[in-house]
Amino acid sequence: MTGKDTAVVDTTQNSKGLDAFRTAEGGFAMLALDQRESLREMFPIAEGADLPDDDVLREFKRVAAGVLTPFATGVLLDRPLGVSTPHRPDWIAEGCGLLLAADVLHSVRGVGVLSTSLDEQVTPELIEGSGAAAIKLLIIWRRDSTEHQQVVADFLAVAEAAGVASFVEGIVRPPVDGAWVDAADRHAAIIEAARELSVGASVYKAEVPGYVPGDVSLVTEQSRLLTSAIDVPWVVLSNGVRAEDFGDAVTAACAGGASGFLAGRAIWADTVGLPDQKDALEKMSVPRLRSFSTIVRESRQSAISRLEG
């Protein structure tokens, strides 16, 4: 079965639990709220003031999830700040699947995530108690490194032991002390990373293939290459995409075989730290999320119609 086929109907052995995240048409319209240090740095900070503490981040996640999960098929939360006890948070809307991040993000302020490791506290017991239907692992991928391979293997073993689906997310980086040759070099790396990291996973989470800021003209073409390269459904993330480009990027990626999105920043980033957080999310983020979800649903319906025709 090809990635293109699984974008519509997924019958692979590692698809257990995915129905919790699907639209009626079989796509994915999922909300990411697993940001940690990157979220902390999004808050406006007065000169000389400290960064917000963990309780501020927890409150943002609680409010954002309460407002947005009624319009998402799934929500991604981390263990330290989003799901700290073996219980499903009561602020997640009924019918919205819970995806639990199983990664530790090693980051540097102002630089971002440099590497990741497996969160050993995300155990089968925590997964079961929280009601999570899947777990997620972020990998920083470089052509010249194989360090991530054991982390991926261990992560897939945890998902198997817990009996849940597995989402692997790849963020590509140039070689250490190196740089991309050009945009095409990075585009190729996104496909290479997907080919490697998707093996054994239920869903692959990719940077938007072929995207450059302000230009989605290559996204459908590159998405088709990614779809042909892997054997599982895949979704796009919004990190690295200008917020004003994300709707067009989702449209183009779905035209090339993507099954939807798992996105955070493009939905809610500009609401962080506003005086009335709930009101800002309702007025600014809900319409975006609903718009992106409509793109996915219409794309999946078109795919189903083509198969039936």
Q: Where are the domains of the chain?
A: 3-308
2.40.10.500, 3.20.20.150, 3.20.20.70, 3.40.640.10: CATH of 3-308: 3.20.20.70
29 within 8 A of 297, measured Cβ to Cβ: yes
Give the per-residue pLDDT at 7.
44
Give me the pLDDT at residue 281, please. Answer: 98
Asked if residue 294 lies in contact with residue 260, where contact means CB atoms within 8 angstroms, the answer is no
CB 50 within 8 A of CB 277: no
- C-beta of residue 143 within 8 angstroms of C-beta of residue 189: yes
| Structure confidence by residue, pLDDT tens digits, 55-88 | 999 999 999 999 999 999 999 999 999 998 899 9
Residues annotated as catalytic (active site), given as ranges: 205
The pTM assigned to this predicted structure is: 0.94
- Which residue, among 188, 147, 128, 165, has the nearest Cα to 262 in the 3D structure? 165
Q: Dig out the tokens for 192 from the structure.
A: 């290479």
The beta-strand segments (E) located in the chain are 28-33, 74-77, 97-101, 103-108, 112-118, 134-141, 165-172, 203-206, 234-236, 260-263
Q: Report angle CA 278, 280, 284 to the nearest 5 degrees.
A: 130
Residue ranges of the chain whose pLDDT lies below 50 = 1-13
What is residue 1's predicted lDDT score, i.e. its pLDDT? 35
